[in-house]
Structure 1
Amino acid sequence: MADITALIDIFSEVRTLLARAENDFDWSSWEDETAALEEIDGLLANLRAGNPPDTHTMRVLFAPTGPMQEVSLSSGWGNRFLELAERFDEVMAS
């Protein structure tokens, strides 16, 4: 099982980035910031309760052309997304 504390750290950083006012959600599957934050908040709530969300659900968020990458690329934080995706992959591999 992946390190829950590390996943909480990663998704907390993701939440901060997704909450930026200048984000563009047009190319993501999320309708808007509220939808994105609701999904991330749900994942964080499960992680904090010690119940890791479905692995597939988490992986889709970090997938190439997944919703987070689409927001990151259209909002100017694509490199930061790649760093978080790499950390996520390392945690999931452990």
Structure 2
Amino acid sequence: MEALAQVLDDLVEIVAASEQDTTWAGTWDTGDEMIRELRDHAGRLRRGDGSTLGELEFLFLPTGPLQEVSISSGWGDQFLVLAGRFDRARASARRGPGAGE
């Protein structure tokens, strides 16, 4: 699950680098709230806790909260790259330990 956590770390770097327009997301009021939630997810993944993977999958959906924020905040292309990495890491995690995560 480390690969999933790394995607979230990279996402936090982008979010922390500038102000975020969370108007359309409906999930967070501020970029700081986004960062706190993403760091919490990353910490859980690093501890081997996959209980919030469903929530993460929702956040990364096309036209989901993360994509909405990314588009309105000017980093939509970067989001697409991260979403691709997330999808690959999630598929690897589903196959289980040692499956090329």
Number of residue pairs the alignment of both structures matches: 91
Consecutive unaligned residues in structure 2, runs of 5 or more:
93-101
Cα pair 2:7 2:82 within 8 Å, conserved: yes
- TM-score normalised by L of structure 1: 0.86
Cα pair 2:60 2:66 within 8 Å, conserved: yes
Cα pair 2:21 2:72 within 8 Å, conserved: yes
- TM-score normalised by L of structure 2: 0.81
Match of 2:33 among 21, 32, 35: 35
Instruction: State the Cα RMSD in Å.
Output: 1.3
**In 1: Cα distance, 2:91 partner to 2:2 partner:** 15
Which string of whole-angstrom CA distances, capped at 9 and with x for unpartnered residues, describes residues 7-53 of structure 1? 11100011111213232111112111121112111101111222124
Amino acid at match of 1:76: G
Of 69-78 and 21-30, more deviation after overlay is shown by: 21-30
Bigger Rg, structure 1 or 2: 2
Query: Is 1:68 equivalent to 2:66 in the alignment?
Result: yes
Query: Is 1:10 equivalent to 2:7 in the alignment?
Result: yes
Cα pair 1:22 1:75 within 8 Å, conserved: yes
